[in-house]
Structure 1
Amino acid sequence: MYLLTRLLRDNEINGEINGQCMLIMRGRVVIGLSFFFMGGFIMMLIVKNYRTLQTVQDTRVLTSDDTSGGKNVLKPVCKVDFTNVYSMDLTTWSTNNKVCSECQNFIKATLKTPYGNTPIFVYPAAQDPWVSGILISSGHFEAEKSSIMFDLLKSDPELNLIDIGANIGVYTLSAAKMGRKVLAVEALDRNVRHICASVAGGGLQDKVTLVHNAISNSNGVVNLGVDKNNMGGTFVDVDSDHIKKLKEGRAQGTYGTVHTIKMDDLLKIPGIKNFKKVVVKMDIEGFEAKAMEGASLFFEKIKIVGFIMEWEFHRKQKTADTILKFMSKHNFIPHSLSSAKQKLDYTKSESWGYDVLWLPKG
């Protein structure tokens, strides 16, 4: 009897234990299924958001308010409303509808000029500290050179600007904001896209004609050299050993190829009738001498009242002689950029500054 009672009690206990175990197991299954379905729902949200991000990531502009201490804000933007872009192959000018047709991710800064502010689309400061970084933080770039350009343009309301080596468009946008016509020439396609976006963003489409070519002494195809962390330092990689040496290790690789044109070829571009009397700004990283070799007809047909030229790469170089002979032949006198009234000594060109202002005699 004792054994029977003990067995019955043990069975009851085991039944209770088994029942509790079943409840625990059922609870665990329910919890597990809940986590499973919750995880699946979260994954669906992640995939959906990722697809949405992929759809818009090429249509965003990073708006920088660094000049006023604000934060960067992403805003959606799409195609650029600017089509006045030309390119020349080995023989023929044509409208370039491709280079600025795709949406891009740009940082939107503000270019401050005496004639009002205008948006300028720049690179991240870490990628391009020398131009973009300065523009993001201050809204200005090369104030002294810009001031000379403004003074020259103000001297005659009929004067317009030809900007050769436009980079991301500081001088182009400044002159356009002043109300002048601008013919901007830029070799690097990504810089051209920045200019397109800035021109459209500022509503300056009727002021700017943009050329996507490199300037040289002949029509051909060249590689564009990379200046690390300096988008404005892009150079034509032809006979460029001294340029690479001056860049002190920053010349690393190439961006690819681009067609070259002569300055004389600009005389055939649509709209050149607006540029019979001009100021020229040229900054093409040591290729200025090659440009002069293809510019004789340009200097004969166009009235140039001032020519601002980068000189850094020509000090103590044979290219200086080429430029000096050409400019002397066409009756231009070199002046200090910091003081337009101060003439420079031809025999001391190795000590000239980073830039030179050429003014016509008389």
Structure 2
Amino acid sequence: MTRLALLYELAARLEKRADQTAVMAPVMQVDDIPARVTTPYGFHLCGPSHNAVMLAAMRLSGSHPYEPLVSLLALYMTRAGGTFIDIGANIGYFSLLVARNTGGPLRVHALEPLPENFRWVRENVAANGLGDDIMAYAVAAGAAAGEASMSSYGTGASLIEGWDGGKGDEQPKVLVPVRRLDDLFAPDELPGPITIKMDVEGYESEAVKGAPRLLASESVRCVLMELGYGLNDDVYNTTARDTLARMADHGYLCYGHHSPVNGRVGVEDVRLWSPDDPEIQNAERWPTNWAFVRPDPTWDALVSGLRTLYGMFCSTGHRTVAEIRRFLDGL
């Protein structure tokens, strides 16, 4: 099904439903119409058309990467191989991105607790021929092993009650297994360098509490984490600053950066903040994403040239895997 035909079908279904209810369900409740997108970065992405990652990929395919600044940093940190741990993999975008474009042997571990998303992770891994490179785990990362109730609120599915203004609490719940990262991974058994990406919708503090050994390892060079603070911090994410403090205690430098607006970050908006920067103490300016990195001269060089590199990264649309690798080799 072409993207245009898919949009027409979605519109027809929404129009039919408008006659049946005065209040429309969230977009992630639209019937599960499978979609397939060819990304500009050497892999295909399949998933339900209501999924926010798929919606962004369909809108941006051929012109712009999904979450471009996070994508650039993930590619940069895995350019020579090592290990990539994708915590909150959703349907597998970042796992596929780094596995396809690394310039050296890279082992990817993708953790996704929501059953529907996990099914798509496995299907995407198989469809892209990356079964030898990506291992998928149907678990959530937490402070203790056990089980937890999780909302099935699309891309914003969370283990936190009241997350995202309580929208997830209105959706069906599923029981998911929870494991400590330290029980899953021994850093001395993983090829380095280790890069971690974490997007767990408010559960960051619990995931970090379950990984003291992993995060203390010098082999972990970078942790890319979505860590929203929110305009309503007493409800939205009260543990954001605690998580920052824990990461600093593990020896990481902490840099905040903003997520894309309408799928894009302008070059003029590319900037990294330290936690004590006066400009971000207001919740309205709090960065949505954070990079926690070990002190490293190569990282300093990346930061100093970030705007230029980001503009180059986003400027050319479709690229071959070889072109992406040459770009990364030049950083």
Global fold match (TM > 0.5)? yes
Q: 2:94 aligns with which of 171, 179, 185?
A: 171
Q: Distance in 2 between matches of 1:71 and 1:253?
A: 25
How has the CA–CA distance of structure 1 residues 337 and 150 changed in structure 2, closer, same or farther, with 3 Å as cutoff?
farther
Match of 2:76 among 151, 154, 169: 151
Q: Secondary structure at the match of 2:78?
A: helix
Does the C-alpha gap of structure 1 residues 299 and 250 become closer, same or farther in structure 2, counting only changes over 3 Å? closer
CA distance in structure 1 between the partners assigned to 2:5 and 2:164 by the alignment: 38
The question of 1:131 aligning with 2:53 is answered: yes
State the alpha-carbon separation in 2 of the partners of residues 145 and 177 from structure 1. 16
Q: 1:273 to 1:65 in 2, by over 3 A?
A: farther
**Is 1:310 equivalent to 2:247 in the alignment?**
no
Contact (CA 8 Å) 2:227, 2:290: kept in 1 or not?
yes
Partner SS for 1:232? helix
For residues 110-168 of structure 1, the C-alpha deviation after alignment (integer angstroms, 9 at most, x for no partner) is 2221xx2x2211112xx33x3212222333421221112112222xx143311100001
Is this contact kept in 1: 2:152–2:174, CA < 8 A? no
Q: Kindly indicate whether the alpha-carbon contact (under 8 Å) linking 2:151 and 2:168 is maintained by their aligned counterparts in 1.
A: no
Q: Which residue of 2 aligns with 1:273?
A: 189
64, 68, 84: which one pairs with 1:161?
Answer: 84
Deviation at 1:220, TM superposition (A): 1.0
Structure 1 residue 355 corresponds to structure 2 residue 278? no
| Structure 2 segments unaligned to the other structure (5+ residues) | 8-31, 259-269, 297-331
Contact 1:145 1:337 in 2 (8 A): no
Instruction: Find the aligned partners of 1:169 and 1:333 in 2 and give their Cα distance.
Output: 27
- The answer to whether 1:343 aligns with 2:274 is yes
1:261 corresponds to which residue? 179
Q: Which amino acid aligns with 2:85?
A: I
Q: Which residue of 2 aligns with 1:120?
A: 45
Once the two structures are superposed, the pairs formed by residues 139-288 of structure 1 within 5 Å of their partners are 139=61, 140-154=65-79, 157-179=80-102, 180-227=106-153, 231-237=154-160, 240-241=161-162, 243-245=163-165, 249=167, 251-267=169-185, 273-288=189-204
Q: Measure how far apart 1:313 and its partner are.
A: 4.3
Aligned Cα RMSD in Å? Answer: 2.8
Aligned partner (choices 303, 316, 323) of residue 243 of structure 2:
323
Deviation at 1:105, TM superposition (A): 7.8
Query: Aligned AA for 1:138?
Result: L
Distance in structure 1 (CA, Å) of the matches to 2:213 and 2:205: 15
User: Is the Cα–Cα contact under 8 Å of residues 186 and 214 in structure 2 kept in the other structure?
Assistant: no
Change (3 A) 1:352 1:313: closer
* Closer, same or farther: CA 268–298 of 1 in aligned 2, 3 Å: closer
2:26 paired residue number: none
Indicate how the Cα distance of structure 1 residues 328 and 192 shifts in structure 2: closer, same or farther if over 3 A, else same: same
CA shift in 2, pair 1:158/1:134, >3 Å: closer
Paired with 1:226 and 1:203, the residues of 2 have a C-alpha distance of 28
TM-score by length of 1: 0.62
Counterparts of 1:147 and 1:110, CA distance in 2: 18
Indicate how the Cα distance of structure 1 residues 65 and 112 shifts in structure 2: closer, same or farther if over 3 A, else same.
farther
TM-score normalised to the size of structure 2?
A: 0.67
Residue 223 of structure 1: how far off its partner (Å): 0.9
- What are structure 1's unaligned runs of at least 5 residues? 1-63, 73-103
Counting only pairs closer than 5 Å after superposition, residues 73-112 of structure 1 correspond to structure 2 as: 106-112=34-40
Which structure's residues are more often strand, by fraction?
A: 1
Cα distance, 1:313–1:190 mapped onto 2, change above 3 Å: farther
Following superposition, the deviation at residue 345 of structure 1 comes to: 1.8
Shift of the 323–342 alpha-carbon distance from structure 1 to 2, 3 Å rule, reads closer
Identify the residue that residue 293 of structure 1 maps to in structure 2: 209
